[in-house]
Structure formats: structure tokens, C-alpha cells
């Protein structure tokens, strides 16, 4: 895969031959490669693929609260992983939405990082710091993530992940998906999914697992801003009632 994109690279580390393409805001040069990895590693979420393609093809609304990044990681010309994440300008918080490295590339070593996943998380948080600074802050509060599997939670702990003490469920769709879908009635048949919720600490900005301000901010960014649930929705009410005093 030749790197001949018309767009500036989001990241580049020549020592390991890594380049990162941010496939948003009209940059759809490698969206097919991004979606191939997504389809292979997230088969249960294929419904979101039209939204991702649309996000790459359309010029971003600079006034929107969510600033999206869709990173395709390429090493020595081969697509090896994806990181979909966003910065919420209103809440000053990052959300890690999609993160996957192809198995055969996960052990790539660079400096002190424990493989390519650890490096990718660091680079995405570095980008979120830039986004926050462009929005008038020194850094975002954190980079939150919904995590489906216990094994992944345990791996994330090694990278500084802090799990929140709440019983979280992932809503089945976003407003973006509703607007892009041709099968809107089918979306209502998808159940709310049990997840673990927590956040990665931005380097130099630590917090505790029961930090009520962090948890409340993350829940607003996810449930109200991202999934567009009203604050009186049963899930919103449940989640906000579980925030530590």
C-alpha cells in the first residue's frame, strides 16, 4: 500500500515505519482499508460502517461538539490497525470508540511502549491534548472507553485504565446511525449491551476511580451528547444515580 495521500499524516514514526492517516473531513483515501479491519475485528458492529465512510467523505462541521478522528495505522505499507476516537469540546473529554490492531502486528516494539496497542493509545491521547489546547484547555480530563470483554479490561489496566464503579450499558445506536441507516426499524430491535466503563489517564493528569466529576462528565459526553439520550431516559437516570457521592 503506497502512501500517496493528498492529506497530511496524523502521525509518523520512521523508526518502525509507522504512518497514521486520519480519515475524516474529506479524507477518504484509505477508508476501504480502515473498514476492512473494522469488519474483521468488529463484526457485531457492521451497522456503523456507513457512518464511518460518511464521516471520511464529508467536510466536518467545525461547530459540532464532537471532533472525530478515524486513524488508520500503516506499518511498512501494510494497514495494521484502526483507532476511532473523538474529542468532546463542550465537556473537554476524549472518547475512545473503536480500537483494534491486527493480531500479527500487536507485538511491534517502540521505546518503552508495551506493543503497538500501547503506542496507539499514547498517540491518540497526545492528539486529544492538541484538540483540548485548540479549545482553550491545557489537556482533556481523560480518554473514556466502553469495554466489552474482561480480558480487554485486564489488558487496559496495564496501560493505565481506571474502571468506574457503575453498572454501565451501551445504547444500541447513535443519531448519526439513524440518519445514515436504511433499516431504522431494525435498530430498535438491538438490545442495550452490558459494558465496563472507565477511562485512560492523560499523562500528568491523574484521577481516582470514584471521581464523581469525571464520571458525570463522561456519562454526559456518552449518553447525552454521543448517543443523544434524554436525561430522563431510564438508562441516563440509572447511570447518574450510581455516580459516587
User: Is the overall model pTM greater than 0.85, yes or no?
Assistant: yes
Residue 164 is assigned to a structural domain of this protein: yes
Contact 51, 38 (CB under 8 A): no
Q: What is the CATH number of the domain that holds 76?
A: 3.40.630.30
Residue 97 structural domain:
11-241
Per-residue model confidence as pLDDT tens for the chain (245 residues): 655 566 788 899 999 999 999 999 999 999 999 999 999 999 999 999 999 999 999 999 999 999 999 999 999 999 999 999 999 999 999 999 999 999 999 999 999 998 999 999 999 999 999 999 999 999 999 999 999 999 999 999 999 999 999 999 999 988 888 887 766 667 777 889 999 999 999 999 999 999 999 999 999 999 999 999 999 999 999 999 999 98
d(CA 110, CA 241): 42
Q: How many domains does the chain have?
A: 1
d(CA 186, CA 244): 36
Nearest to 85 by CA among 53, 54, 131: 131
Contact 128, 94 (CB under 8 A): yes
Please name the residues in contact with 131: beta carbons below 8 A apart, sequence gap of 6 or more: 67, 87, 89, 94, 140
Residue 3 is assigned to a structural domain of this protein: no
Sign of torsion, CA 24 187 231 218? Answer: negative
Residue 34 is assigned to a structural domain of this protein: yes
Residue 121 is assigned to a structural domain of this protein: yes
* Model pLDDT, residue 183: 66
Distances (CA, A) of 53 to 31, 86, 177, 195, 201: 7, 16, 12, 26, 30
Nearest to 68 by CA among 164, 157, 174, 148: 174
d(CA 86, CA 225): 12
Residue 188 is assigned to a structural domain of this protein: yes
Residue 6 is assigned to a structural domain of this protein: no
Nearest to 113 by CA among 123, 104, 103: 123
Contact 100, 149 (CB under 8 A): no
Q: DSSP assignment, residue 128?
A: H
CA angle, residues 97, 100, 105, in degrees to nearest 5: 155
Residue 233 is assigned to a structural domain of this protein: yes
Residue 37 is assigned to a structural domain of this protein: yes
Amino acid at each position: 500500500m503506497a502512501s500517496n495521500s493528498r492529506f497530511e499524516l496524523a502521525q509518523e514514526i520512521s523508526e518502525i515505519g509507522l504512518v497514521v492517516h486520519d480519515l475524516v473531513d474529506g479524507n477518504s483515501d484509505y477508508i476501504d482499508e480502515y473498514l476492512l479491519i473494522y469488519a474483521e475485528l468488529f463484526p457485531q458492529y457492521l451497522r456503523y460502517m456507513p457512518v464511518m465512510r460518511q464521516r471520511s467523505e464529508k467536510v466536518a462541521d467545525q461547530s459540532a461538539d464532537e471532533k472525530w478522528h478515524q486513524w488508520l495505522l500503516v506499518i511498512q505499507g501494510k494497514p495494521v490497525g484502526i483507532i476511532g476516537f473523538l474529542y468532546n469540546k463542550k465537556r473537554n473529554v476524549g472518547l475512545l470508540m473503536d480500537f483494534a490492531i491486527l493480531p500479527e502486528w500487536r507485538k511491534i516494539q517502540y521505546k518503552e511502549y508495551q506493543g503497538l496497542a500501547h503506542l496507539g493509545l499514547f498517540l491518540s491521547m497526545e492528539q486529544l491534548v492538541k484538540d483540548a489546547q485548540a479549545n482553550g484547555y491545557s489537556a482533556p480530563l481523560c480518554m473514556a472507553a466502553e469495554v466489552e470483554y474482561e480480558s480487554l479490561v485486564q489488558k487496559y489496566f496495564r496501560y493505565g485504565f481506571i474502571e468506574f464503579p457503575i453498572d454501565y450499558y451501551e445504547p444500541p445506536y447513535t443519531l448519526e446511525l439513524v440518519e445514515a441507516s436504511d433499516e431504522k426499524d431494525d435498530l430498535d430491535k438491538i438490545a442495550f449491551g452490558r459494558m465496563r466503563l472507565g477511562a485512560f489517564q492523560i499523562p500528568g493528569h491523574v484521577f481516582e476511580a470514584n471521581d464523581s466529576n469525571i464520571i458525570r462528565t463522561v456519562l454526559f459526553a456518552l449518553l447525552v451528547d454521543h448517543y443523544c439520550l434524554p436525561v430522563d431516559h431510564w438508562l441516563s437516570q440509572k447511570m447518574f444515580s450510581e455516580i459516587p457521592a
